[in-house]
Chain A
Amino acid sequence: MSEFFLMGGHGAYVWSAYGLTLAVVIINVWLARAKLRAAPQRARELATQAEAPRKQPTVRRLQ
Chain B
Amino acid sequence: MKLPRWFHQFGSPPYVYRLADRLCPWLGGLGGALLAVGAVWGLAFAPPDYQQGESARIIYIHPQTAYIGMMAYVVMAVASAIGYVWRLKLAHAVAVSAAPIGAWFTFCALFTGAVWGRPTWGTYWQWGDPRIMFEALLLFLFLGYLALREAFDDRDKADRVTAILAVVGVVNIPIVHYSVEWWNSLHQTSTLLAEGGPAMTTDMLIPFLIMVAAFTLTFYWLLLRRLQAEIVEREGDARWIRELVGEGAR
Contacts and interface: CB of A to CB of B under 8 A. Distances in A.
Given A13-B118, A17-B115, A31-B100, A43 B107 contact: no
Given A14-B43, A25-B218, A47-B237, A42 B232 contact: yes
Given A14-B55, A40-B248, A45-B236, 10 more contacts: A9-B53, A14-B43, A18-B39, A20-B111, A31-B226, A32-B221, A35-B230, A39-B232, A40-B245, A43-B241
Interface in A5-37: 7-11, 13-14, 16-18, 20-21, 24-25, 27-29, 31-33, 35-36
Interface of B: 35, 39, 43-44, 48, 52-55, 57-58, 61-62, 65, 100-101, 104-105, 107-108, 111-112, 115-116, 118-119, 218, 221-222, 225-226, 228-230, 232-233, 235-237, 241-242, 244-245, 248-250
Q: Which 7 A-B pairs have the closest CB atoms?
A: A46-B236, A50-B237, A7-B54, A39-B232, A35-B229, A32-B225, A10-B55
A62 to B, nearest CB: 35
Contacts of B241: 40, 43, 47
B232 A40 contact: yes
B55 A21 contact: no
Given A36-B225, A47-B236, A10 B39 contact: no
12 contacts: A13-B55, A14-B57, A17-B112, A20-B108, A20-B112, A21-B61, A32-B221, A35-B225, A40-B232, A40-B248, A43-B236, A47-B236
B233 A43 contact: yes
B167 to A, nearest CB: 25
A14 B44 CA distance: 12
B100 A13 contact: no
Interface residues of A, number: 34
B101 A28 contact: yes
Contact of A21 (B65, B119, B248): B65
> Dominant SS at the A interface?
helix
B249 A40 contact: yes
Contact of A13 (B108, B119, B232): B119
